[in-house]
Amino acid sequence: MTQATKIETGRGIATLINVFTVLPERQAELVALLSRATEETMRDRPGFLSANLHASADGERVVNYAQWESEAHFRAMLADPAAQEHMTQAAALAESFDPRIYAVESVHHTSGAAL
């Protein structure tokens, strides 16, 4: 069963937001690499919940929005050699990257919208 991303306050999960700066001609390659890494490695790690990749319209950014059951699960993934290989490849494609763990503090939706 596929776990859909749920953005809610009070869930107690760890949200990774990693912003990659990339040359526009490498954006698609980075998205493909991150997608492949998620399918081949990350999704099978304990505590993984979901991942979403976003490509900026100007071609200069890729954002990975991923959810883990806890920060400890995320940190354990960082120590995994298979995950490290993918992360090294992604770092080589990017000009820079800025991974941080966040907690959802507020969520808003349009009133009356069919969600």
Confidence band, pLDDT 50/70/90 cuts, at residue 1: very low
The pTM is what?
Answer: 0.88
At residue 115, does pLDDT exceed 80? no
Burial 39-74 (b: 16+ CB within 10 A, else e): eebbeebebbbbbebebeeeeebbebbbbbeeeebb
Confidence band, pLDDT 50/70/90 cuts, at residue 8: confident
Task: For residue range 37-50, list pLDDT tens digits in order.
Answer: 999 999 999 999 99
Task: For residue range 59-107, list pLDDT tens digits in order.
Answer: 999 999 999 999 999 999 999 999 999 999 999 999 999 999 999 999 9
